[in-house]
Amino acid sequence: MGTRSVTIVIHKGEIKVAQYGQSDGYPEKMGVSALSFLRDPEKVNQLKQVLPKVRFYSRSDSWENMDLSRNPEGYLPGDWENNVEDRATVLRRIPKPNDPIFISVLEEGEYIFEVILKYKNRPAIILADAYGFAAESLWCEWAYVIDFDKHTFEVYHGFNTTGINPGDRFYHLHKEISDYYPVKILTSFSLDELPGNDGFITVCRKLFKEK
């Protein structure tokens, strides 16, 4: 189902992950996936150790020196993605085991944390930055923020036409010309007191219905 979302991780004052999800972004799927990962202390600790290697793609990056094997369509954020010749060159290149790896914004969705851990031994893990997708909640229907600094797991809802205030996380993304505001917080959980899947879904759906 084409329910779009973004999953964000904040660690030591930096936005380290801002992964776009094309489908299944609702709490029962994307939310539960993130929640299930967070309930595994070993995986969470591994992720924190790997996050210093994770960064967003920059136009100064050379795709010729990256492993694009998890990017089957030859997509990179930038200005060359529609160039057939460049794309063919990317697909022909055989990556090296120690190359930095680029993880496609279009392919990984709910499995982004597992994929990051799979490549924990690479010198760099390069992601596309979809943070700005939270700006217009007509398109971004759900958002999930794991804030290791605040020790919280936050759920945000889309279709927000009722306004937003300076205290909201995504206030700075507001565009005056849009009828839809950025995604707005629905609920927040302490990472020390995470609910079970059923309780999580019940809370999210109840609050969404009441909003």
What domain count does the chain have?
1
Portion of the chain with pLDDT greater than 90, in percent: 63
Per-residue pLDDT reduced to its tens digit, 90-112: 556 677 788 999 887 665 567 89
Whole-angstrom Cα distance, residue 137 to residue 184?
8
pLDDT of 73: 62
Which SS3 state, helix, strand or coil, does residue 134 take? helix
The token pair that represents 13 in the structure block: 């004052």
Q: Which residues contact 166 (CB under 8 A, 6 or more apart)?
A: none
Range of 178's domain? 5-210
Per-residue pLDDT reduced to its tens digit, 6-41: 999 999 999 999 999 888 999 999 999 999 999 999
